């Protein structure tokens, strides 16, 4: 991998090898700005018969090349670098989630403390966490051993104990893992990579426990004291081992590793990277979601703290049946404004699960599928909130004033009021026939409070930009702002609850094509068109007990951006609770649908 001067980079090629498709995009410098210009895709070729990931990459890149009128692949099937005579590209980067991505098992002493930190490190690095072993997970040692043996993780992360703290328990966990002899997923010829990131005093003891069957790397403790998390070294170790051990054994990857100019990253890790970069550069809090067929990933950056969760069984095809089981039918049907037969719906859900590629043909089917998506997103976000917390096990500082308001440690850091940008991606969100539908699904599921910008990543370009941000942050940022996101608009939602029909907010909007003022009644939705390039200045005066970000009942003036949908004033209250009575609920949902013009 050669280091290039960023100023000399004009053409960037990026691929993302997903489990079904490999997507390639081309980024070029146009008039001094980096822009995403062409994209192409081809089926991923990790599995038999091709069993070489580079074939899919070359196919996708060739398609981009044809569209761009630029030769990117030479006759030997190599990517041409650097550019010469209008052919080839300056750098090539890639991410990968093929073969199910990076699957890890993590272990720690206390489930809510070091084990949670270990899970955070693994998820943040882009892994899927298959299980968390902890001394208080209420399983007996033999059950834990059994579980470790059944799982076939690509990698194991062991933590536990603060520095100078508990060594006994850490060694005990190591003693559990060692006899279980975990089997790696890709064949048995390579040794299981195991990262130890626990009590540094216990490191020599842990090393003694493991024999040659594992590839042990010791990194600094990820919880040196309970008050502080140090996830960086463990994350880096995961990335390194992912390349050295896991990827190197997947078909064709050793070739791909040689081709790329930056280390290949697991796709979700790259998405986390770009979101973090954006949040940091713009000083905002952001949440991103990618809803897939089997899993839903939620990423969040609040006050500089990045968190990621994977809800393994919430998705729109393989996992659709599980969404229905977890959310329960009545919760899904509350979003539906037309009559549907529950027995029939249950069969439809199961049929979608066993034949995941079908698409909704009728309006009913679309309405129902989007209702399920709302619940899947809601549940995934709930899981995310439960996971993204402040650290547990930290001493609290009190004064006598806290007598009646003693707060627990480990509270969620996800605060919808402070959320500035909400980005959605994944089939059901990015391919919804109307933009309003995407916006409505995001609002209903995530329930943003105050002023929140909504966007979608229509072609899921975030992974590419995530890797790019490590090589060329400026290019990544420029493309992210100009081409990656489709801005849907801004949602303004006062937090609080009131009586239906009573005013909850008076507003004044000026700027762009808008010059409106009026009152918003509780339970109502209002949509004002505001084009993507336009901004408007809004003055909001919430009624008593309602909050738009300045405090309950306090007025707020802000500039808001438009989008393909526009400006949405959501007076349905937070937390959003559609009426429990079925008939009232349907009436309310019908009026919301009417206001947003969701369905024909």
Partner 1 sequence: MQHAQAEKEQPMVRRPILAFMLVFPLVSSATSVLADPPRPPANLVASDAKGDVGKKVDLSWDLSPDDTAEAKPRRVIAYHLFRKEAGEAEFAKLKGEPTYQSTSFTDENCERGKQYLYRIRAVAPGNELSTAVETTEAVIPEMEYFVFSRVWYGIILLAVCGSVTFFIEVARSGRELKIRKIAGLEAIDEAVGRATEMGRPCLFVPGILDINDIQTIAGLTVLSHVAQVAAEYDAQIEVPTCRSLVMATARETVESSYLAAGRPDAYNEDNIYYVTDEQFGYVASVTGTMVREEPAACFYMGAFFAESLILAETGNSIGAIQVAGTAMPSQLPFFVAACDYTLIGEEFFAASAYLSGEPHQLGSLKGQDVGKVIGVTLLLIGCLMATLYSVTGNETIGTLVSFLTNNVLGGGGFLP
Partner 2 sequence: MAQAYTPGLKVTNRLSHRMRRVLPIAGEVKASVGDRVQARDVVAETFMPGDITPVNLSNTLSLPPADVLECMLISEGERVEIGQSLARTKGIFGLFKSEYKSKAAGTVESISNVTGQLIIRGKPLPVQVRAFLAGEVVEVIPNEGVVIEAEVSYVQGIFGIGGETYGSVRMACQQHTDELKADLIKPDMEDCVIVGGARMTGDAVRRAIEVGAAAVISGGMDDQDLRDILGYDLGVAITGSEQIGITLVITEGFGEIAMAKRTFELFSSREAADAAVNGATQIRAGVMRPEIVIPLSEEEKAREVEPEHTAGLLEVGAAVRIIRDPYFGQIGKVAGLPAELTVLNSESMARILEVECESGERVAVPRANVEMIEV
Strand order in the sheet with 525-528: 305-311, 296-302, 286-291, 421-425, 450-457, 485-493, 566-570, 525-528
Tell me the chain's radius of gyration from C-alpha atoms: 25
- 188 is a contact residue toward partner 2 (CB under 8 A): no
Instruction: Compute how many other C-beta atoms are within 10 angstroms of the C-beta atom of residue 461.
Output: 25
Q: Find out whether 472 and 9 touch, Cβ atoms under 8 Å.
A: yes
The minimum distance between CB 367 and partner 2, in angstroms, equals 8
Long-range Cβ pairs for the range 80-89 (8 Å, 24+): 81/261, 82/4, 83/10, 83/11, 88/11, 89/11, 89/12, 89/13, 89/26
Q: 223 touches which of partner 1, partner 2, none (CB within 5 to 8 A by kind)?
A: partner 1
- 344 is a contact residue toward partner 1 (CB under 8 A): no
- 223 is a contact residue toward partner 1 (CB under 8 A): yes
- Does a cis peptide bond (omega within 30 degrees of 0) precede residue 49? yes
- 191 is a contact residue toward partner 2 (CB under 8 A): no
Instruction: Compute how many other C-beta atoms are within 10 angstroms of the C-beta atom of residue 190.
Output: 14
Write the burial class of residue 533 (CB in 10 Å: 0-12 exposed, 13-18 middle, 19+ buried): exposed
- 141 is a contact residue toward partner 2 (CB under 8 A): yes
Handedness of CA 277, 282, 285, 288 (dihedral sign): negative
- Residue 140 or 583 with smaller CB distance to partner 2: 140
Helices 342-354/363-387 angle, 10° precision? 70
The minimum distance between CB 325 and partner 1, in angstroms, equals 19
- 393 is a contact residue toward partner 1 (CB under 8 A): yes
Q: Find out whether 21 and 357 touch, Cβ atoms under 8 Å.
A: no
Helices 435-446/582-596 angle, 10° precision? 140
- 113 is a contact residue toward partner 1 (CB under 8 A): yes
Q: 171 touches which of partner 1, partner 2, none (CB within 5 to 8 A by kind)?
A: partner 2
Out of 347, 390, 510, 590, point to the residue binding partner 2 (CB under 8 A): 347
Out of 17, 61, 93, 167, point to the residue binding partner 1 (CB under 8 A): 167
- Residue 325 or 577 with smaller CB distance to partner 2: 325
- 1 is a contact residue toward partner 2 (CB under 8 A): no
Out of 37, 54, 117, 319, point to the residue binding partner 2 (CB under 8 A): 319
Q: 577 touches which of partner 2, partner 1, none (CB within 5 to 8 A by kind)?
A: none
- 104 is a contact residue toward partner 1 (CB under 8 A): no
CA distance 130 to 2: 36
Out of 396, 499, 544, 580, point to the residue binding partner 1 (CB under 8 A): 396
String of contacts with partner 2 for each residue 366-385, x by CB under 8 A: x-------------------
Pairing of strands 450-457, 286-291: unpaired
Residues 3-32 that bind partner 2 (CB under 8 A): 19
Per the listing, tokens 């009131």 go with: 498
- 167 is a contact residue toward partner 2 (CB under 8 A): yes
Out of 30, 338, 363, 582, point to the residue binding partner 2 (CB under 8 A): 363
- 131 is a contact residue toward partner 2 (CB under 8 A): no
CA distance 335 to 374: 8
- 109 is a contact residue toward partner 1 (CB under 8 A): yes
Interface residues toward partner 1, by CB under 8 A: 109-110, 112-114, 135-136, 138, 140, 160-162, 164-169, 199, 223, 226, 392-396, 398-400, 402-403, 406-410
* Residues at the interface with partner 2 (CB under 8 A): 19, 99-100, 140-142, 145, 149, 167-168, 171-172, 175, 179, 205, 294, 313, 318-319, 321-322, 324-326, 343-344, 346-366, 431, 433-434, 600
């Amino acid at each position: 991998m050669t280091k290039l001067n960023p100023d000399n980079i004009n053409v960037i090629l990026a691929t993302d090898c997903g489990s079904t498709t490999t997507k390639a995009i081309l980024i070029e410098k146009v008039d001094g700005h980096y822009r995403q210009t062409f994209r192409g895709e081809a089926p991923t070729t990790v599995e038999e018969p091709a069993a070489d990931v580079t074939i899919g990459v070359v196919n996708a890149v060739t398609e981009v090349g044809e569209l761009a009128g630029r030769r990117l692949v030479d006759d030997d099937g190599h990517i041409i670098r650097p550019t010469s005579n209008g052919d080839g590209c300056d750098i090539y980067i890639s991410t990968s989630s093929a073969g199910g991505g990076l699957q890890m098992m993590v272990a720690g002493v206390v489930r809510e403390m070091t084990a949670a930190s270990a899970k955070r490190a693994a998820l943040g690095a882009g892994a899927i966490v298959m299980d968390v072993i902890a001394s208080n997970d209420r399983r007996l040692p033999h059950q834990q051993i059994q579980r470790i043996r059944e799982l076939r993780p690509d990698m194991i992360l062991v933590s536990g104990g603060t520095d100078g703290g508990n060594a006994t328990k850490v060694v005990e966990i190591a003693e559990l893992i060692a006899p279980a002899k975990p089997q790696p997923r890709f064949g048995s010829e390579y040794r299981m990579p195991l990262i130890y990131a626990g009590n540094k005093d216990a490191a020599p003891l842990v090393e003694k426990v493991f024999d040659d069957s594992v590839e042990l790397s010791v990194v600094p403790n990820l919880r040196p004291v309970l008050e502080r998390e140090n996830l960086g070294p463990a994350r880096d170790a995961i990335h390194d081992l992912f390349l050295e051990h896991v990827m190197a054994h997947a078909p064709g990857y050793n070739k791909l590793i040689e081709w790329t100019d930056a280390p290949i990253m697991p796709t979700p890790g790259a998405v986390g990277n770009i979101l973090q970069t954006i949040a940091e550069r713009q000083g905002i809090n952001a949440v991103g979601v990618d809803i897939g067929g089997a899993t839903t990933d939620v990423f969040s950056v609040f006050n500089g703290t990045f968190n990621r969760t994977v809800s393994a069984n919430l998705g729109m095809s393989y996992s659709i049946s599980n969404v229905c089981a977890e959310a329960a039918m009545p919760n899904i049907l509350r979003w539906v404004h037309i009559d549907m037969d529950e027995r029939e719906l249950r069969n439809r859900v199961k049929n979608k699960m066993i034949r995941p590629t079908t698409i909704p043909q009728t309006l009913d089917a679309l309405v129902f599928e989007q209702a399920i998506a709302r619940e899947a997103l809601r549940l995934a976000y709930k899981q995310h909130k439960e996971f993204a917390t402040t650290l547990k096990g930290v001493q609290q500082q009190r004064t006598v004033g806290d007598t009646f308001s003693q707060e627990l440690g480990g509270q969620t850091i996800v605060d919808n009021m402070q959320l500035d940008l909400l980005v959605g991606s994944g089939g059901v969100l990015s391919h919804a026939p109307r933009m309003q539908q995407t916006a409505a699904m995001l609002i209903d599921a995530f329930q943003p409070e105050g002023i929140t910008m909504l966007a979608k990543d229509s072609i899921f370009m975030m992974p590419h930009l995530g890797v790019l941000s490590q090589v060329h942050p400026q290019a990544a940022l420029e493309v992210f702002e100009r081409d990656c996101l489709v801005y849907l608009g801004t949602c303004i939602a006062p937090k609080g609850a009131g009586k239906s029909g009573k005013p909850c907010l008076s507003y004044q909007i000026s700027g762009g094509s808008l010059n409106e003022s009026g009152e918003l009644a509780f339970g109502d939705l209002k949509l004002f068109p505001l084009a993507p390039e336009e901004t408007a200045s809004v003055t909001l005066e919430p009624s008593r007990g309602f909050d738009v970000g300045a405090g309950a009942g306090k007025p707020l003036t802000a500039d808001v951006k438009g989008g393909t949908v526009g400006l949405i004033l959501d007076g349905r209250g937070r937390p959003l609770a559609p009426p429990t009575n079925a008939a009232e609920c349907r009436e309310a949902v019908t009026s919301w649908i009417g206001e947003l013009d969701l369905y024909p």
